[in-house]
Amino acid sequence: MANIHNNYIDGKWIPSSGGDTYEQRSPADLAEVTGVWQKSTTDDARQAVEAARRAFESWSGLSVYQRAEYLNAALELMIERADAIAKVITAENGKTIPESRSEIASAVREMEFQIYQGVRTGGEVMPSSMSGVLAYTIRRPLGAVAVIAPWNFPFNVPARKITPALISGNTCVLKPAQLTPGAGEQFVRLFEDAGVPAGVINLITGSGSVIGAELVTNPAIRAITFTGSTEVGRSINAKAATGMKRTQLEMGGKNPLVVLTDADLPAAAAATALAAFACAGQWCTSTSRAIVQRPVLDEFIDLLLGHVRKIVVGKGDDKASTMGPVCGQTQLDGILAAIEKGKAQGATLLVGGGRITEGDLAKGCFVEPTVFTDVTADMSVAQDEIFGPVLSVMTVDDFDEAVDLANAVEFGLASSVYTADLEKAMEFVGRTDVGLTHVNMPTAYKEPQLSFGGVKASGHGIPEAGPTGIEFFTEHKTVYIRTGV
Ligand code: NAP
Ligand code: MG
């Protein structure tokens, strides 16, 4: 019998008041239960929010340096426990151990930056138009905030969201995805073991539609930061608007990588293969469309296939694997259905296209790395976020057509162009409709000191990370003081 895990509310690990639990299964072997988790109720969510609300006064009353001390202690534990945390991420999400380690390394960098940013974020002193008046602004924390996390970066996303929330004096309730509660638990334990006071960080597991709804509408919640699908993001935004709550929504993508005739083709092919198939194509910044100028199409595809053939699909904890399973049955079914739709609509299946049904891997959610060519803009494989190891290669005649095609989707998260022509590169930077663009670099590249967020259906609200990480979780107060001097 797998371990039973509890919610963490007001500094205590407690079961759901409803008494129900659910099993999380390994995507590498659906027969294997990795843990039993609380199926929390609306009541549990209310309790967690109440704990966060109560803890706010004393937590926000500490100096930012005192809060930084707690958070630095949690960060040290994160570094110490990286191996153990990586195992939990791999067991639940399926990604390979090196991919899990790299997720933790990113979380460390995000956390380091946000703590540093917290202790140097102040207001501004402005000259007053009256003599003898001191005029300045300060930033204040909001209160209790809700953090709704996805399963694809189940550890790094909480780190990126919760660190700026806590350092600036907010308290929070974390709801991890049902598929990856253990990563959320590992994250919260760092804070518990660092001695962070009860109620500052709370964890409740269970269904997004049940506890998510309470978190989004509870009057004590001042802001909701969410990463996940566009559909759920939209519904959260609509509900939050009624309560005048802030939202920060990081959602889907259909990220293009454009390859022009003068591109460094080996570099473009390597970047495409990396960002299309790492974590089985389940990065929100994964490359899902390669838009290639006709004269270099054949050579680009040859180079790309060279990389794809080297991918070793296998269990995440098997050292030989370079690509793990996709995260669970629902994802698997959706990806396979999207592949069938692509075939039916006339795209050419160049490689892959199916579930692995032989041997040990047949027990898990393993999909072959898949490449479609002859994809046109109207096909669903060109439009829909598949969120799996599926790449659509599209052909264009010129630069303008490439840019128009790159923009011809509802999403606007990340993009990239490969070219040696600086003018074309800069024109692409100007015209691409995304929140994150690259020249001669993979679509997924990001650094913690810069903001991260999409436009169009990919993002809404003040973006995460960088200086805006803290901006989202704070409000302004403007102060005028008649000093007489
Ligand atoms: P999802 O279904 O939208 O779920 C995301 C989170 O929202 C989960 O914790 C989920 O809980 C919760 N949720 C579900 N319904 C809810 C509701 N009605 N109210 C409140 N919360 C609710 O997305 P996913 O399938 O986990 O993740 C895949 C998607 O995330 C992809 O579309 C991907 O592009 C996007 N993503 C975006 C970024 C980015 O930064 N832009 C990063 C990573 C992922 P349950 O697990 O209980 O359903
Ligand atoms: Mg979902």
DSSP 41: -
Considering only the C-alpha atoms of the chain, give the largest distance between any 2 of them, rounded to a whole number of Å. 83
Task: Ligand 1, residue 148: give the atom nearest the CA.
Answer: 9
Nearest one of 360, 370, 258 to 317, comparing CA atoms: 360
- Which residue out of 16, 227, 282, 390 has the highest number of ligand 1 atoms within 8 Å of its CB and is therefore the one to mutate? 227
151 lines ligand 1 (CB under 6 A): yes
Please work out whether the CB of residue 413 comes within 6 Å of at least one atom of ligand 1.
yes
- Is the Cβ atom of 258 under 6 angstroms away from ligand 1? no
Q: What ligand 1 atom has the least distance to the C-alpha of 178?
A: 46
Tell me whether residue 235 is in a domain: yes
Q: Which residues contact 155 (CB under 8 A, 6 or more apart)?
A: 85, 89, 103, 104, 107, 183, 186, 187
CATH number assigned to the domain comprising residue 92: 3.40.605.10
Instruction: Give CA–CA dist 272/305, Å, rounded.
Output: 11
Q: Do 271 and 307 contact (CB within 8 A), yes or no?
A: no
For the CA of 231, the nearest ligand: 1
Cα of 276 to ligand 1 centre, how many Å?
Answer: 20
Instruction: List the 201-203 sheet strands across, edge first.
Output: 12-14, 7-9, 201-203, 171-175, 144-148, 221-227, 246-250, 459-460
148 CA distance to ligand 1 middle (Å): 8
Both 213 and 359 in one domain: the answer is no
Q: Please tell me the predicted confidence (pLDDT) of residue 32.
A: 97
For the Cβ of 483 lying below 6 angstroms from any atom of ligand 1, the answer is no
- Give alpha helix (H) positions in 314-368: 329-344
Amino acid symbol at 241: A
Q: Does the beta carbon of 129 sit less than 6 angstroms from any atom of ligand 1?
A: no
Report DSSP state, residue 224. Answer: E
Distance 141 CA to ligand 2 centre (A): 30
Query: Would you call 109 exposed, middle or buried from its count of C-beta atoms within 10 A (0-12, 13-18, 19+)?
Result: middle
Ligand 1 atom at minimal distance to the Cα of residue 213: 19
CA of 209 to the centre of ligand 2 (A): 9
**Statement to judge: residues 17 and 108 lie in one domain:** yes
* Residue 444 in domain: no
- Residue 49 and residue 104 share a domain: yes
The answer for residues whose C-beta is within 8 angstroms of residue 465's C-beta and 6 or more apart is: 110, 113, 114, 160, 446, 448, 449, 450, 451, 452
Nearest ligand, CA 239: 1
Ligand that lies nearest to the alpha carbon of residue 252, given by its number in the listed order? 1
What is the predicted pLDDT for the residue at 265? 98
Can you tell me the distance from the alpha carbon of 127 to that of 131, in angstroms, rounded to the nearest whole number?
A: 9
Is the CB of 222 within 6 Å of ligand 1? no
Residue 485 has what pLDDT? 85
- Report pTM: 0.97
Q: Which ligand 1 atom sits nearest the alpha carbon of residue 228? A: 30
Q: What is the per-residue pLDDT for 329?
A: 98
Regarding whether 291 and 226 lie in a shared domain, the answer is no
Active-site pick, 279, 284, 327, 365:
284
What tokens appear for 222 in the block?
A: 């001042």
Are 232 and 259 members of one domain? no
Per-residue pLDDT tens digits of the chain, which is 485 residues long: 679 999 999 999 999 999 999 999 999 999 999 999 999 999 999 999 999 999 999 999 999 999 999 999 999 999 999 999 999 999 999 999 999 999 999 999 999 999 999 999 889 999 999 999 999 999 999 999 999 999 999 999 999 999 999 999 999 999 999 999 999 999 999 999 999 999 999 999 999 999 999 999 999 999 999 999 999 999 999 999 999 999 999 999 999 999 999 999 999 999 999 999 999 999 999 999 999 999 999 999 999 999 999 999 999 999 999 999 999 999 999 999 999 999 999 999 999 999 999 999 999 999 999 999 999 999 999 999 999 999 999 999 999 999 999 999 999 999 999 999 999 999 999 999 999 999 999 999 999 999 999 999 999 999 999 999 999 999 999 999 999 88
Question: Which listed residue (99, 185, 250, 464) is catalytic?
Answer: 250
453 in any annotated domain: no
Cβ–ligand 1 distance for 224 under 6 Å, the answer: no
- Catalytic: 365? no
What CATH number does residue 381 fall under? 3.40.309.10
Q: Ligand 2 centroid to 278 CA: how many Å?
A: 21
Judgement on whether residues 276 and 225 belong to the same structural domain of the protein: no
Atom of ligand 1 nearest to the CA of 459: 41
Ligand showing the shortest atom-to-Cα distance for residue 388 = 1
Nearest C-alpha to atom 37 of ligand 1 is from which residue? 251
Together in a domain, 281 and 427: yes
Q: Give the closest ligand to the alpha carbon of residue 37.
A: 1
Which residues sit opposite 148 in a β-bridge? 175, 226
Supply the residue whose CA is at minimum distance from atom 4 of ligand 1: 228
- Indicate if 202 and 175 belong to the same structural domain: yes
Whether residue 111 is found in the same domain as residue 193 = yes
Look at residue 2 in the predicted model and tell me its pLDDT: 76
317 shares a domain with 245: no
Let me know if residue 142 belongs to a domain: yes
250 given a catalytic annotation: yes
- Asked whether residue 450 is domain-assigned, the answer is no
Question: What is the number of domains present in the chain?
Answer: 2
Contact (Cβ atoms closer than 8 angstroms) between residue 391 and residue 271 = no
Residue with CA closest to ligand 1 atom 15 = 208
d(CA 432, CA 139): 33
> Are 149 and 292 in a shared domain?
no
Q: What is the pLDDT, as a whole number, of residue 1?
A: 60
Domain that holds residue 290: 255-439
Instruction: Find the 229 Cα to ligand 2 centroid distance in Å.
Output: 7
Strand ranges, E, within 287-445: 287-293, 348-351, 370-373, 390-396, 411-412, 414-418, 436-439
Tell me if 171 is assigned to some domain.
yes
Handedness of CA 238, 240, 242, 246 (dihedral sign): negative
Cβ of residue 327 lying under 6 Å from some atom of ligand 1? no
Mark whether 322 and 186 lie in a shared domain: no
Ligand 1 and 232: CB distance under 6 A: yes
Q: Is residue 446 part of a domain?
A: no
Question: Residue 317: which H helix or E strand, with range?
Answer: none
> 278 alpha carbon to ligand 1 midpoint, in Å?
19
The answer to the question of residue 452 being in a domain is no
